Amino acid sequence: MAELMRLDAVSRRFGGLQALDRVTLDIGRGEILGLIGPNGAGKTTLVNVVTGVHRATGGRVHFEGRDITSFKPYQAARAGIARTFQVVQPFPELTVHENVTAAAMFSSGKGGLREARAFAAEQLEFVGLSATADQPAATLTLAMRKRLELAKALAMRPRLLFLDEVNAGLNSAEVEQAMGLINQIAGTGVTIVLIEHLMKVVLSVCSRIVVLHNGALIADGPPSSIVSDPHVVEAYLGKKYAQMAAQAAGNP
């Protein structure tokens, strides 16, 4: 699989805390890569570093062959990298449509407002939020705000999309809907990194999974090898959970 992004010994320190510890990782074009690990493992920090929200304190990040290590968020967005936020953060007083239009404007750097508004409307249609387009974003339910996050990310026309716990707090029907959308997005050729706590979801959509623990990458492989990896079981899954997950992945 052709390489889209490469992290080379990427580190991030916050004071005395090593939030990312020399993470080396290839992300292949067209894959749905699962990124899992316990709370505090460094998953969100990894997204923040590759999207320019936080500076790496060590290592390099390449995207489509370019060194983007010191890119600012707007540069990462314009290069084709988008992300959703774990804690959803729309502009509450702007309408749903205005929020997505702002995202489209942020990433394009060219084109007019009219074009951005039209493209934003298409994204709202895609995520099923057209009916709420003119409401203030603050009026949306959590599940709708998660879909708004998706629409905002898509409005940036990404080639690489990081989804940071888009299913957290959703009920099972809402999770199913969200996964349907994610599969559709992947079907359009967008590479996806899915940060997700629901193993059932990770195992059903990801062809490859990487595991972070205390900032370090402790496993990288197909779902079947991840769920039976003793380090992953120890650090994250727990023995009982591993059995369930192994069954879900079709292992005896």
Binding site for ligand ADP (CB under 6 A): 14, 17, 19, 37, 39-45
By CB under 5 A, the residues from 188 to 247 that bind Mg ion are none
Token reading at 4? 């889209």
CA atoms within 13 A on the CB side of 48: 18
C-beta closer to ligand ADP: residue 47 or 170: 47
Question: Quick one: how many helices (H) and strands (E) in the chain?
Answer: 10, 10
Binding partner selected for residue 14 from ligand ADP, Mg ion, none, CB under the kind-specific 5 to 8 Å limit: ligand ADP
C-beta closer to Mg ion: residue 44 or 107: 44
Binding partner selected for residue 146 from Mg ion, ligand ADP, none, CB under the kind-specific 5 to 8 Å limit: none
> Which class for 225: exposed (0-12), middle (13-18), buried (19 or more C-beta within 10 A)?
middle
CB 13 within 8 A of CB 21: no
> Which class for 114: exposed (0-12), middle (13-18), buried (19 or more C-beta within 10 A)?
exposed
x/- mask, Mg ion, residues 74-113, rule CB under 5 A, reads ------------x---------------------------
Report how far residue 129's alpha carbon sits from residue 136's, in angstroms, rounded to the nearest whole number: 12
Binding partner selected for residue 51 from Mg ion, ligand ADP, none, CB under the kind-specific 5 to 8 Å limit: none
Q: Using the rule CB under 5 A, is 48 a contact of Mg ion? A: no
Binder of Mg ion out of 44, 48, 107, 132 (CB under 5 A): 44
Q: Give least dist CB 71 to ligand ADP, A.
A: 18
Q: What letter would DSSP give residue 95?
A: B
Residues that bind Mg ion (CB under 5 A): 43-44, 86
